[in-house]
A and B are shown apart, each in its own frame.
Chain A
Amino acid sequence: MKFQIFQGMDDIGILGMNRRNAEYIMRYNARARFPLVDNKVLTKKLAQKFNVPTPEIYYVIEHHGDMAELDKALEDHKEFALKPARGSGGSGIILFVDRKKEGFVRQSGATMSREEFNYHISGILSGIYSLGGQEDVAIVESLIHPAELFAEVTYRGVPDIRIIVYRGFPVMAMIRLPTRASDGKANIHAGAIGAGIDIKTGVTLTAVHRSKVITHHPDTGNTIVGINIPYWDSMLVVASKAYEMTGLGYIGVDLVIDINRGPLLLELNARPGLQIQIANNSGLLKRLRSVDDAFSDSNLEPEERVMWVKESFKIT
């Protein structure tokens, strides 16, 4: 079925929601493997096996009873991030930078009382933030310190890099920059900026904020276009490896760059969104199809796949 009104999207090779679900997620992502990416604790364990660095876990709260032990686990850490293991889109994540008698100091400067802190953990455990509403566990892990480079184009929070990996090929990437509107979250729906990245060079291309094309950060006023993202090649390889890690053929790999530890795998997503196409001003379907056209069955190593992608998806 072809409709005139869809011709424009078809020409650019935009991937629509229906096709993403039917031809990519349902076809390449076995349901049984979803827990590997939906649960961050499992993802971290998996990453460890494959020597992929992730933010360090300080403590996992599985039951309300575990909260008693929390103080001991946090003895040496004033800074940490509290997040639900099954959360999505950055919801339920709180970043803490210090501790006082009254409670924990959030990154925003506000103090969260002990009571509020415990309530938040209860909320996480009862599944408020989890994808399907199931019970969840809370993770306390190391706080990310973003690379200096990003300070100019970030309002609080940590920018993260999303790479779509299809059959092990990192086909498209963007960087998500928190804004005041997104409340420091790197969540595009919440109002973060999405900037496309040239796969070959790791340089930012175009940016989108609230479905408008922009060139400068609305809060800091600095230019977003042309930023050279460090560790680009190694990030592509890490993303590519996620295919071997999970066995999922169509995933979104989220990475952050820590000023001390370099690129870290933050989380994986088995249902990555489609906004990345807007950020890149380019259709995803076109790239997925060129992978299929080149390889009906590939047994390349992650590094080889990255090489192929960098050759094939050049920006001219």
Chain B
Amino acid sequence: MKVKHPATILAFVLFALTISIVMYRIIWLKYPILPTVPGQVWQLSFEASIQPEEREIEAAIALPTEQAGRVIAEERITSDTLSFNLFQEGANRIGLWSGMSDKEAAIITYKSTLLLRPRRFPASQNPTLSTDMPEIGREETAFIERLGEKWKTLDPQQRLKEVSSVAGGRQEAGGVSREDMEAWNKLKDKHGESGAMLILLKAAGLPARSVSGLLLVRGIQTSPTIWVEAWDGQQWRDLDPRTGQIYGDKSALLALTTAGTPIVHVTKGHILDTRWSLERQIMSKWRLHFERIKRSQHILDRWSFFSIPEEFQNLLRVLFLVPLSALMICLLRNVIGFPTFGIFMPVLLALAFRSTGLMYGIGIFASLVLIGYTARRGLDRFRLLLVPRLSVLLTLVIVCFGLFTLIGGKLSLRALMGVGLLPIVILTMSIERFFILIEESGIGEALKTALGTVAVAVITFFVIQWEPIQLTFFVYPELLFAVAGVQVLLGRYTGYRLSEVIRFRVLTG
């Protein structure tokens, strides 16, 4: 086999390095492989204002728990002047706000981001009976025995359906008599809807418990919803105690407490107002993943770029794509053969387009080059030396920026006000280059170069604007090594440029 060129070896070392770090992250640190699939994300926020009782407050609020099919990506708690404690109470997770408050009302808030994967239910849970089963007297026992006798031949799923139809006031099947229905209605009056349903489920021999939580719908809920969960032998099913309806979609409910624990329990003070609000969010899996592993102890996780403040993260996310843009320039110039002003001018333009938007960016670039060119023509008469002449052009560019910003301000066009980020010095040099190119090689050549510059900038812009790429590089910064590897390989590309096909077409005929 032919001995590989050292540059090729270097490139492959860089690739190997990248692959090994990426694999380490995926296999050992369990990074998601497809980072950008948006998950089903809900933003839950809870707010309560509590009036202190003798300047003291103690309030226990049930918070969502992590379980299969539900991941808490992020939690934020504000406690006013109170102290906050978190503890586990059975299956429930309770936040306890307590302390002194001089205010008329203390505001406490809780915010979390929840990722729900509807297809992943709690696989099987030990079906424990509810502890909030109403007291069972003679009347109830008779009812339970009567119905139990009728339903004993049915399998659990069918029994659940019977329960549903009885609770819904429908008696068409299963031999439920009018007498049973009357007894049922009495039970409802006596124990409340969910209490009665628990008794009904006991009659059916199905383990059951009442659950408090929220309906998973966008909007504000001022009080929690209570429903009943019953074990049908395979999974927990949710029943609406008012209508008897079995909820089909598990993800339509967000359970907060089971076994009758109240969601909001204030032992000192008075609740003035509670509100839960739910909003849907699109969030990439990376983000979710990293919000969660912020607590991870792995060195690569602790040194992840996700641990730096958000505003720097955004800057870095873009900066990490600059090498990729440079790679694009290598490709477009050396393999395709685009003519451009300067080597990295298009990258800087593309970065500037991020704040102006594409159309305005191109418009500003075009008008600046045009204004600059006109001015440069005029300046030629004054015979200024090179450096002072460029300085005058630079001043002109800045003045134009100022004007654009003013116009942008008047028209409330933020895009026009973003011009400050255009690479001014390089733009100035481009104007001079453009002028000299027109003088020496004609307008055609100059326009070709200007168009080439814009085309490369636009292509680069789309690459660095593409969020999946941004995130991928941010999560796997080692990909930069691979980029360098490709750059090294391109540096050894001695083949033809695509543009040379046209250039030498007279020869190839």
- Chain A contacts to B: CB under 8 angstroms: 1, 3, 5-6, 8-12, 14, 16-19, 22-23, 89, 91, 115-116, 119, 122-123, 126-128, 133, 189-191, 208, 211-213, 274, 277-278, 281-283
Contact = CB atoms under 8 A, between A and B. Distances in A.
Interface in B369-402: 383, 385-387
A89 B504 CA distance: 21
A5 B497 contact: no
A277 B385 contact: no
Contact of B501 (A1, A5, A19): A5
B503 interface: yes
A19 B495 contact: yes
Query: Which 9 pairs across A and B sit closest by C-beta, in order of nearness?
Result: A8-B508, A119-B383, A126-B386, A16-B496, A19-B494, A6-B496, A22-B494, A126-B385, A18-B494
B504 A277 contact: yes
A122 B389 CA distance: 12
6 contacts: A9-B501, A12-B508, A19-B494, A89-B440, A123-B386, A281-B507
Given A123-B386, A126-B385, A18 B334 contact: yes
Contact of B445 (A19, A128, A189, A213): A189
Nearest to A135: B386
A25 to B, nearest CB: 11
Contacts of B102: none
Contacts of A127: 386
A123 B385 contact: yes
A18 B441 contact: no
Interface string B405-446: 000000000000000000000000000000010001110010
B386 A278 contact: no
B506 interface: yes
Contacts of A89: 440
Given A16-B500, A22-B492, A281-B507, 19 more contacts: A1-B495, A5-B501, A9-B504, A14-B507, A16-B496, A17-B337, A18-B334, A18-B494, A18-B497, A19-B496, A115-B383, A123-B386, A126-B387, A127-B386, A189-B445, A190-B442, A208-B506, A211-B506, A212-B506
A82 B442 CA distance: 23
Given A127-B386, A190-B440, A16 B507 contact: no
B342 to A, nearest CB: 12
A19 B442 CA distance: 28
Interface of B: 334, 337, 383, 385-387, 436, 440-442, 445, 491-498, 500-501, 503-504, 506-509
Contacts of B441: 189-190
A191 B500 CA distance: 19
A12 B507 contact: yes
B494 A9 contact: no
A306 B430 CA distance: 44
A183 to B, nearest CB: 10
A119 B386 CA distance: 11
B440 A9 contact: no
Nearest to A11: B508
A5 B493 CA distance: 16
B173 to A, nearest CB: 74
A17 B500 contact: yes
B508 A278 contact: no
Contacts of B492: 22
Contacts of B501: 5-6, 8-9
Contacts of A17: 337, 497, 500
A18 B491 CA distance: 9
A137 to B, nearest CB: 15
A106 to B, nearest CB: 16
A19 B494 CA distance: 4
B496 A14 contact: yes
Contacts of A14: 496, 500, 504, 507-508
B496 A277 contact: no
Contacts of A19: 494-496
A277 B492 CA distance: 23
Nearest to B335: A18
Contacts of B440: 89, 91, 189-190
A19 B445 CA distance: 24
A213 B492 CA distance: 33
Point out which of B383, B440, B491 has the most chain A C-beta atoms below 10 A from its C-beta: B440
Contacts of A191: 442
